[in-house]
Structure 1
C-alpha cells in the first residue's frame, strides 16, 4: 500500500504535465473523420508508441542532464516555466490548431496508416519538462520504470476517455471547456515546479 501511495503522486504529476491534456481539442479535430471504433484502435496504437517514446526521452534527458551536470534548481525552474507556458496556452487557446490539422490532413488517404499523435501531441515538450523533474530526483531504475509505466497507463486512459467518450462530433465546445480547465491544473503544476526551483536556488 505504501508503494501505491508513493507511485500515484509521481504518476499524476507526469499525467498533469502531459501534452495530451492541453491538446485535447486539437486531437479531436485530427481524429474527427474516424468512427469511435477506428479512433480507439488508433489511440491504442499511438499509446504504445508513446510508451516507447517515454522511456527513450527519459534516457535522453537523463544522459543530457548528467553530461551537463545541471543543478536541480535549474531543472525545476526551466521545467516549471515550460509546463506553465503550456498550461497558459491551453487556457488562452493560443495553439495553432488549424495549422496542425492542415498538415496532418494534407493527404487523407494516408491517415489510416500514419497519424503523428504520440509525439508531440500526447508526449511532447511539456511532458519532457516533467520528465526532467523525475530525472532530478535520482530514483532507481526499477522505481523510475514503475513511475513511467504508471503514468503511461493514466495518460492512455485519460486520452481515450477524452477522445472516444467525449471527443465525438458535436461535443467540440465541451472538450474545449475541459481543455481549459485541465490547462489551469497544468499551470498550477508548472508554477509549483517553478517555485520549488527558486526555493532550492535561494533558500
Structure 2
C-alpha cells in the first residue's frame, strides 16, 4: 500500500488495528491519538507478528511523525519497538499513561527532532536513589523537549549536549538544583 499519511485520531480503535498498521510500510505520518490501545499490545492475527508487543510500530521504518497522544495505553509498552524508527522526527507520548523509562536504544533515533513526554508518568518510584536524569544520549539536534507533569523530583543534568534545543518545558515537576545554560 502506498499510503503515507494516516489520521485515525479520536476514535474507539483498539489493539486490533495494529496488524493493519504493520502493513503500511510507506507510512510517514501516523496519528492514533485518543484511541483505546490497552495493556501490552500483542498481535495474534498474523504469524509474522506473533509474540511481538508494540514492536509492530517499529517496522514502520519510513514513519516520520508518530502521535500517541491520549491513547489510553494503560499497561507496559515495549518501547524498544520504536528504536528501529530511524527516520522518526516527531514522537508524541503526551497523556498516554505509559509507565517506565525510555530504553537506551532511543539513541538510535538520530532523526528525532521533537519528543513530547507531557504527563508520561515515567515510573521512578523504584529508583528512589536516582539523583541524575541524563538526556544526552546523542540527541544534540533535538529542538523541542517537553517533560511537563511527570512527577520528577530530582536534579537534572547532562543537558549541555542538546545544543539545538529551542523549546524546553520542565513545568509541573519537582526539579531542583542548577539548570545548565542551554
> Do these two structures clear the TM 0.5 threshold for a shared fold by scoring above it?
no
Bigger relative contact order, structure 1 or 2 (CA pairs below 8 A, ≥6 apart): 1
More helix by share: 1
TM-score by length of 2: 0.22
TM-score by length of 1: 0.21
More strand by share: 2
